[in-house]
Structure 1
Amino acid sequence: MSRADPPAPPALKPGRGRRPAEDVRRAVLAAAAELLLAEGMPGMTFAKIAASAGVSRMTLYKWWSSPGSLAFEAYFTVFEETLAFPDTGDIRRDLTAQLHSFVDLLRRNGPVIAGIFGAAQSDPDLAEALSTQYVRKRRRLAVDRLAAAQCAGQLRADADLETIVDQLWGACYHRLLMPAQPLDTDFADRLLANLFSGVAAPREQPDG
């Protein structure tokens, strides 16, 4: 199983007794993730998810305000490991590993991810979850790793870490949403090459 592929949903079978809430929630998230990757945001309905997970629609309404908010949590839960940021002590190696993993995720599930961002424009609950639970947390992880590298002398002391995040991950999202050029690991490597070498031409030294 690829790290970018979700696990099969552990559908809950009807039976006597109250099932543990944790098991129910896990089954719902797995079912939602499978449906999300198969049909995209248009296929994300509480009726379909409930049927796949073996729960009632009322259970979903109790925990999630909209199919969009459920879709986001399912996406993040399944791909949390893929989106994790390694720390081997070598910032270039870690950035390369993370960007390669991220690009692979975008290539495999681009329409789904674009659909989540698109749905957030008209779903306030999804937009809030996306901002607080994904975007800000992801930025913080990246900035913290870059700050550690800065303290270790691997990045310039005056480097703008927030802007580096935009330059690297923002560029990948740009190619996902505006696919005029290929989004692949070669592109990620070129982004890093530009970052670490700089793109300004060397200044000419005055004679004498």
Structure 2
Amino acid sequence: MSPPDPARRNERARRAIVSAAFEICAERGFAATTIEAIAAKAGVGKTTIYRWWPSKAAILIEGLASQRDSSARFPDTGDVYADLASQTANAMRLFETEFGAIWRGLIAAAQTEEVAAEGVRSILRGSIDECTARLAKARDAGQIRPDIDLELIVELIYGPIYHTWLLRTRPVPPRFMETVLSALRPALEPAAGPA
């Protein structure tokens, strides 16, 4: 049996379902979010939801992907460090919204649920690809070393965000990422040429 065609969804019902899932998950947490509660809040039957999505994680992933796409793009001012500071500040602000509460729940669910894991990897892959594309442009412009693994840079930049945000290890000051990027910058910049 082939999967349902997403193009045949009723757009108003789809939006109501995603919105209901977001509200419930943000209020109660991922574990307490159920298809039954989503259906009741959206005013649709459970069969409608299951026709379009295999699980609550899939509904939330679809909604998060569109929110993330509109909120966490990479600027390109010509200064990669300013662009990274701007983008990471935007990402941290996004994490303090309903998006962050849902994202945290999905990351936890991804440890045991394959649908959640696939969705989390997909969203992260998009973010990693955008960041590496911006870093490649900076590398080609001579702003960062040509010999460094671009995905390693992504991990070095975003690791502190996820560590402090997921584990809640300490309060994060507003200029946190500017400090992180300043600490990383000497390791990323090309070596000075001979005098």
Q: TM-score under structure 2 normalisation? A: 0.82
In 2: Cα distance, 1:111 partner to 1:54 partner: 24
Structure 2 residue aligned with 1:105? 94
Does 2:118 correspond to 1:125?
A: no
Partner secondary structure for residue 77 of structure 1: helix
1:146 deviation in Å?
A: 0.6
Structure 1 residue aligned with 2:46? 57
Indicate the percent of aligned positions where both proteins have the same amino acid.
34
1:20 deviation in Å?
A: 6.2
Q: Aligned partner of 2:138: which letter? A: A
Q: Deviations over 1:85-136 (max 9, x none)?
A: 22222211210111001112223455432221111122111111221x2121
In 1: Cα distance, 2:68 partner to 2:127 partner: 13
Instruction: Return 5+ residue gaps in structure 1 as ranges.
Output: 1-18, 200-208
**Quick one: structure 1 residues 184 and 32, their matched pair in 2 at CA, closer, same or farther if it must change by over 3 Å?**
farther
When the two chains are superposed, the root-mean-square deviation of aligned CA atoms in Å is 2.1
Q: Which has the larger radius of gyration?
A: 1
Structure 2 residue aligned with 1:91? 80
1:172 deviation in Å?
A: 0.6
Q: 2:177 aligns with which of 188, 205, 208?
A: 188
In 2: Cα distance, 1:78 partner to 1:54 partner: 23
| Residue range with higher mean Cα deviation, 69-78 or 57-66 | 69-78
Does 2:91 correspond to 1:141?
A: no
**Quick one: structure 1 residues 129 and 57, their matched pair in 2 at CA, closer, same or farther if it must change by over 3 Å?**
same
In 2: Cα distance, 1:32 partner to 1:72 partner: 10
Contact 2:111 2:117 (C-alpha < 8 Å) held by counterparts: yes
Structure 2 residue aligned with 1:78? 67
Structure 2 residue aligned with 1:157? 146
Partner secondary structure for residue 167 of structure 1: helix
Structure 1 residue aligned with 2:159? 170
**Quick one: structure 1 residues 30 and 111, their matched pair in 2 at CA, closer, same or farther if it must change by over 3 Å?**
closer
Partner secondary structure for residue 42 of structure 1: coil
In 1: Cα distance, 2:181 partner to 2:75 partner: 16
In 1: Cα distance, 2:61 partner to 2:157 partner: 23
Instruction: Return 5+ residue gaps in structure 2 as ranges.
Output: 1-7, 189-195
Contact 2:60 2:102 (C-alpha < 8 Å) held by counterparts: no
1:182 deviation in Å?
A: 2.3
Contact 2:22 2:102 (C-alpha < 8 Å) held by counterparts: no
**Quick one: structure 1 residues 183 and 72, their matched pair in 2 at CA, closer, same or farther if it must change by over 3 Å?**
farther
Contact 1:114 1:177 (C-alpha < 8 Å) held by counterparts: yes
Does 2:23 correspond to 1:34?
A: yes
